[in-house]
Amino acid sequence: MLMTSRNSQFFQRVRILLSILFSAGIFLAGGTTSFAAPRLQPVEDKIVIVIDPGHGGKNEGTTENGFQEKSMTMTTAMAMYEELCKYDNVEVYLTRTSDVNLSLEKRAQYAADKNADFLFSIHYNASLCHEMYGTEVWIPAYAPYNAYGYQFGYVQMETLKDTGLFLRGVKTRLGDDGNDYYGIIRESVARSVPAVIIEHCHVDQENDIPFCDSEEDLIAFGREDARSVAKYFGLKSTELGVDYSDDSLVLAEASENGRAKLSLNDETDPDVCQITLSDADYDTCEATFEISAADYDSMLLYYDYSLDGGKTYSARFPWPDANVFDGTYTDTFTTTLQIPSDTQPKVIFRAYNLYDLDTESNMVSFSQTFQYKEPTSTPEVQPASDAVAVDGPALEQTQTAEKLPEAEPLPDTEEEVGILDFLMICLVVVIVLFVIVLVSQILAERKRRQRRRQRRKDAGDDTYQSR
């Protein structure tokens, strides 16, 4: 018995070590990838999908910048329809195929009549301030449709993240009555049809315009949307030669009875936004600030800054390391601003959360004027080795040349060690440590056994002698 329990203790230790090694491996290989979760929405064998090209007829949608949303949504929806029809076991319908007025109730009722598993409403965006950019998915606020929408929206973010579009996340919006704000979502859910709005990008902002200013772009969006739908439902296409049925489990963690935290309508401004001046160079007109900000309910998405005490603001910049997949972001970062010459700026930053609400920082004022000065021209200083090469005798030159290659390679290769190499080294170190511990455990166990055998032998001898 004693032996077995010691053995099991030994194996317990090995198991712990193995699990540590395994987690280390996952950590090194996995990065930010979330763990796979099952699709919460139950479906039959045949999937029924309704695509809703947003707007139509008199309802043109956004017309900013010469774009016409109602026709853009039609192009994208048609491409999504054609692509989805290439998958097996799907029925695909469009709420409209021409430029007609169609109420949100009728669109939702059409989906309900078709017994749709999902309604996808296709849109393009514009903002009042014309400063917003990026792609987002609006989903139902309440269970179980919130979970279905969240799992689809997450797939859509994954699908679009490599296009270079800024990701604005998967969100809900509530009206004053506490119900879903967006009509197509509200009307669909009221008829038990899960529905989401895909806002592909902003037609009135320079970062996004290149993503939607040609027919090919709009068609590409439709194909990406179809791909997300196929991934979400785990579809298979003999025609396209793709099979997402195995990948269908790679969905965001969500709870059928709960609401995904990141998708919750945050109606409060970011909680903290503080700036401090780290460095100012009045000659080169550069000022470096440290920005600390946080939003305890959601996350931060953009920042901008003012140099004139809040009268005018810069374009919006992506908040450093904002990650809509897990809600993380850098809470403190530094950035250097170029200050116009002959000014005494009054600097304010603003932090924006996932729901476009912002908080202004404290103001940093300057009493000294930034005045650009040309760097004083200094004679060209040549590197020491070059100087030797030019001035020194021929013999020294060759000596230097001979010595250098031997001494130099090490730092060079060290500089080239990338993050992958670093991770590989970490993995190797972990494996080596594991092997060392394992071997020492085996040796210790063997020694213990020997000692026990010896003790038993001694005890046996004693008994024999005493008898």
What six digits make up the tokens of 244?
């997402």
In the bound complex, what is the minimum distance in angstroms from residue 34's beta carbon to Zn ion? 30
In the bound complex, what is the minimum distance in angstroms from residue 275's beta carbon to Zn ion? 36
Size of the site for Zn ion (CB under 5 A): 3
Query: How far is it, in rounded angstroms, from Cα 455 to Cα 463?
Result: 12
SS3 label, residue 135: strand
Query: How far is it, in rounded angstroms, from Cα 61 to Cα 122?
Result: 11
Query: How far is it, in rounded angstroms, from Cα 121 to Cα 131?
Result: 24
In the bound complex, what is the minimum distance in angstroms from residue 253's beta carbon to Zn ion? 30
Q: Does 61 bind Zn ion (CB under 5 A)?
A: yes
In the bound complex, what is the minimum distance in angstroms from residue 73's beta carbon to Zn ion? 7
Query: Residue 163: which of 78, 221, 216 has the closest Cα?
Result: 221
- Among 123, 186, 231, 236, contact with Zn ion (rule: CB under 5 A): 123
What six digits make up the tokens of 122?
């296709």
Helical segments of 261-324, H only: none
In the bound complex, what is the minimum distance in angstroms from residue 52's beta carbon to Zn ion? 11
- Interacting stretch for Zn ion, rule CB under 5 A, among 56-64, 293-301, 345-353, 390-398? 56-64
Q: Does 54 bind Zn ion (CB under 5 A)?
A: yes
- Interacting stretch for Zn ion, rule CB under 5 A, among 117-125, 126-134, 155-163, 333-341? 117-125
In the bound complex, what is the minimum distance in angstroms from residue 133's beta carbon to Zn ion? 16
The 10 Å Cβ neighbour count of residue 158 is 18
Query: Within 13 Å of residue 375, how many CA atoms lie on the same side as its CB?
Result: 5
- Interacting stretch for Zn ion, rule CB under 5 A, among 60-68, 206-214, 251-259, 335-343? 60-68
User: Residue 119's beta-bridge partner residues?
Assistant: 50, 195
Instruction: Give the nearer residue to Zn ion in terms of CB position, either 54 or 149.
Output: 54
Query: How far is it, in rounded angstroms, from Cα 111 to Cα 48?
Result: 9
- Interacting stretch for Zn ion, rule CB under 5 A, among 115-123, 207-215, 300-308, 455-463? 115-123
C-beta nearest to Zn ion: residue: 123
Under a CB-based contact definition with an 8 Å cutoff, are residues 55 and 197 in contact? no
Instruction: Give the nearer residue to Zn ion in terms of CB position, either 197 or 254.
Output: 197
SS3 label, residue 455: helix
Instruction: Give the nearer residue to Zn ion in terms of CB position, either 186 or 259.
Output: 186
Q: Which 158-187 positions form the footprint of Zn ion (CB under 5 A)?
A: none
Query: Residue 143: which of 200, 207, 109, 192 has the closest Cα?
Result: 192
In the bound complex, what is the minimum distance in angstroms from residue 39's beta carbon to Zn ion? 27
- Interacting stretch for Zn ion, rule CB under 5 A, among 57-65, 156-164, 300-308, 339-347? 57-65
Contacts with Zn ion, residue ranges (CB under 5 A): 54, 61, 123
